[in-house]
């Protein structure tokens, strides 16, 4: 069977997790009843609560993030009046332009994202058809490409803006320019963005640039993400893929088995994970159903230490 690899990125979860430090305004600039950053932080709190309910973020990480967001809300609220009085009309127009550009990027990427997961084939594993393509039109891609060029020019003038590099990484990934996406994420990290999802997105872009192969550099990025967030599902999936590509089917099986055990069965990426798990289980002569049930029991009732 011909083995092939398809990687579709910039799904809704990636946008939701990485867009939070990028966005500057979610509301119409026609009304100015509260600071744009304050509106952003309120939206962040809502997103955080939703992610916590869906178990997309660890409880301790959610608590820490909640405290930090609330701290920023207080800081913005205290200093807003004085800050707005100092703004000139030219600064205001520039701010509006920046927010409009950012919102345009995110709107186009969100409109083109209908899946939360990647569909991959890998050496020695199941060669899978593309289950669900990103729904997009050529016009939307053209619009995004124009906005990308505008952002590139802005980054030339502001090369240390980590949030700008994050947005550029997202945008290049949406256009399937994975090499450029990886470079943008690398620049974001070098500029100070040390969030778990930045490293996970960087690793994923490297995988896309390498036609589905998890390189040592990509593996290192996923390991960094996992060190800060041991439950990070994206990093765990790709580390399992790395093991499989290295011929360590047992390691891949154990990684994916544990990942499947603590992944909701209705999660949009679960079907992919299950298919990969079943393939390595078949190669190892393991009945995946019984093994997976045992793993779920371990997650629910861990053995005493």
Task: Retrieve residue 240's tokens.
Answer: 């399992």
* pLDDT-based confidence at residue 292 (cuts at 50, 70, 90): low
Tell me if 202 is assigned to some domain: yes
Which residues constitute the domain of residue 36?
12-247
pLDDT of 33 strictly over 70? no
Q: What is the structure's pLDDT at 134?
A: 38
Q: What is the structure's pLDDT at 115?
A: 32
Tell me if 182 is assigned to some domain: yes
Tell me if 1 is assigned to some domain: no
Higher pLDDT, 14 or 118: 14
To the nearest whole number, what is the mean pLDDT of the chain? Answer: 71
Tell me if 262 is assigned to some domain: no
Higher pLDDT, 40 or 15: 40
Angle at 269 between CA 267 and CA 274, to 5 degrees: 100
Q: Which residues contact 62 (CB under 8 A, 6 or more apart)?
A: 48, 51, 52
Q: Which of 23-27, 86-90, 121-125 has the lowest mean pLDDT?
A: 121-125
Tell me if 91 is assigned to some domain: yes
Share of the chain above pLDDT 90, in %: 29
Q: What is the structure's pLDDT at 170?
A: 86
Tell me if 293 is assigned to some domain: no
For the stretch 221-278, pLDDT in tens is: 999 999 999 999 999 999 999 999 999 999 999 999 999 998 888 887 788 888 888 8
Q: What is the structure's pLDDT at 147?
A: 81
* pLDDT-based confidence at residue 26 (cuts at 50, 70, 90): very low
Give the pLDDT mean for 105-133. Answer: 38
pLDDT of 178 strictly over 90? yes
| 131-135, 172-176, 249-253, 293-297: which is most confident | 249-253
pLDDT of 51 strictly over 80? no
Q: What is the structure's pLDDT at 116?
A: 32
* pLDDT-based confidence at residue 202 (cuts at 50, 70, 90): very high
Q: Domain total for the chain? A: 1
Higher pLDDT, 17 or 6: 17
- HSE-CB at 118 with a 13 A cutoff on CA atoms is 26
DSSP character at residue 176: T
Q: What is the structure's pLDDT at 45?
A: 72
CATH of the domain at 152: 1.25.40.10
Q: What is the structure's pLDDT at 9?
A: 39
Q: How many of the other CB atoms lie within 10 Å of CB of 278?
A: 17
Among 182, 179, 176, 174, CA closest to 110? 174
For the stretch 59-118, pLDDT in tens is: 666 666 676 666 666 665 555 444 444 554 444 554 444 454 554 554 445 444 433 333
Q: What is the structure's pLDDT at 61?
A: 65
Share of the chain above pLDDT 70, in %: 50
Q: Are 131 and 284 in contact (CB under 8 A)?
A: no
CA pair distance 288, 274, nearest whole angstrom: 9
Higher pLDDT, 240 or 34: 240
* pLDDT-based confidence at residue 165 (cuts at 50, 70, 90): very high
Q: What is the structure's pLDDT at 236?
A: 95
* pLDDT-based confidence at residue 124 (cuts at 50, 70, 90): very low
Tell me if 276 is assigned to some domain: no
Higher pLDDT, 216 or 148: 216
Q: Which helix (H) or strand (E) holds 103?
A: helix 89-111
Tell me if 230 is assigned to some domain: yes
């Amino acid at each position: 069977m011909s083995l092939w690899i398809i990687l579709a990125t910039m799904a809704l979860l990636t946008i939701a997790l990485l867009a939070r430090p990028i966005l500057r305004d979610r509301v119409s600039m026609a009304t100015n009843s509260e600071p744009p950053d304050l509106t952003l932080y309120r939206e962040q709190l809502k997103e955080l609560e939703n992610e916590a309910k869906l178990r997309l973020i660890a409880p301790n990480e959610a608590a820490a993030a909640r405290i930090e967001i609330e701290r920023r809300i207080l800081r913005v609220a205290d200093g807003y009046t004085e800050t707005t009085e100092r703004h000139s009309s030219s600064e205001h127009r520039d701010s509006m332009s920046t927010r409009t550009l950012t919102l345009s990027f995110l709107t186009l990427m969100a409109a083109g994202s209908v899946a939360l997961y990647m569909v991959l084939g890998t050496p020695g594993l199941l060669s899978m058809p593309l289950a669900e393509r990103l729904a997009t039109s050529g016009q939307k891609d053209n619009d995004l490409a124009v906005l990308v060029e505008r952002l590139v020019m802005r980054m030339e003038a502001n090369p240390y803006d980590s949030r700008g590099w994050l947005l550029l990484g997202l945008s290049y990934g949406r256009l399937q320019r994975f090499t450029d996406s990886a470079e943008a994420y690398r620049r974001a990290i070098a500029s100070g963005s040390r969030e778990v999802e930045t490293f996970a997105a960087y690793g994923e872009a490297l995988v896309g640039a390498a036609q589905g192969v998890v390189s040592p550099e990509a593996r290192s990025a996923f390991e960094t993400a996992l060190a800060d967030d041991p439950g990070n599902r994206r990093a765990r999936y790709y580390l399992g893929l790395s093991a499989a590509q290295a011929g360590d089917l047992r390691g891949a099986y154990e990684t994916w088995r544990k990942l499947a055990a603590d992944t909701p069965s209705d999660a949009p990426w679960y079907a992919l994970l299950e298919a990969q798990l079943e393939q390595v289980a078949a190669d190892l002569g393991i009945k995946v159903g019984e093994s997976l049930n045992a793993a779920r029991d371990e997650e629910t009732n861990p053995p005493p230490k």
